[in-house]
A and B are shown apart, each in its own frame.
Chain A
Amino acid sequence: GQNIDQPTEMTATEGAIVQINCTYQTSGFNGLFWYQQHAGEAPTCLSYHVLDGLEEKGRFSSFLSRSKGYSYLLLKELQMKDSASYLCAVRDSNYQLIWGAGTKLIIKP
């Protein structure tokens, strides 16, 4: 079967750094997405990876290793508004999106 694993919940302090990991086992690979979803709002795409490596967008960075079936989302200089759920999704060989259950990130002052 196909599976995406990510922690259910993480807590971090305002101003700190947090890394959210995602491991996947899918039938083929055609890209990995990270989405952010604030409570009661639409998920919005943060990043898309098809090649290995690190991509940085401001305070957010994402990393992919296809050989290890592993990705992480790194959030720096955490702000209270970063409190949200972060969803990892992988597109398989049939271009179907396989979703993780999401990681709820709680930021404390």
Chain B
Amino acid sequence: ETGVTQTPRHLVMGMTNKKSLKCEQHLGHNAMYWYKQSAKKPLELMFVYNFKEQTENNSVPSRFSPECPNSSHLFLHLHTLQPEDSALYLCASSQASSGGVETQYFGPGTRLLVL
């Protein structure tokens, strides 16, 4: 048990649907992350939140919209996705500090299939 939970674990959606992924961390961390993991590719960092403020947006298409209502919860809102967006979406959290170890703790991910 890593202390980071994600729901749903699996999601199938059409290109016109709107859905949301949810992440919750129970570790008291102040930074949260969304990653995209595709087969045989490195983890792609999508968004970073520090103390509920978005600090990174790595050129992610606007069809992905993050929301961080508090330091324990993170959402990824999805709309009009493309088949190439099918992947495993991982949430992670860490205790942000300058120069610290900041090990990231991951959730189990949401396996997304876009038809």
Task: Give the CA-CA distance A96 to B102 in the complex, in Å.
Answer: 11
Partner of B2, one of A4, A44, A87, A99: A44
Stretch at the interface among A10-18, A35-43, A53-61, A66-74: A35-43
- Name the residue on B nearest A42 (C-beta): B106
Secondary structure dominating the interface of B: loop
Residue pairs across A and B with Cβ atoms less than 8 A apart, 19 shown, are A4-B42, A30-B99, A40-B108, A42-B4, A42-B105, A42-B108, A43-B90, A43-B106, A44-B2, A44-B106, A48-B101, A48-B103, A89-B43, A95-B98, A96-B45, A99-B42, A100-B42, A101-B40, A102-B40
**B→A interface (CB under 8 Å):** 2, 4, 40-43, 45, 90, 98-99, 101-109, 111
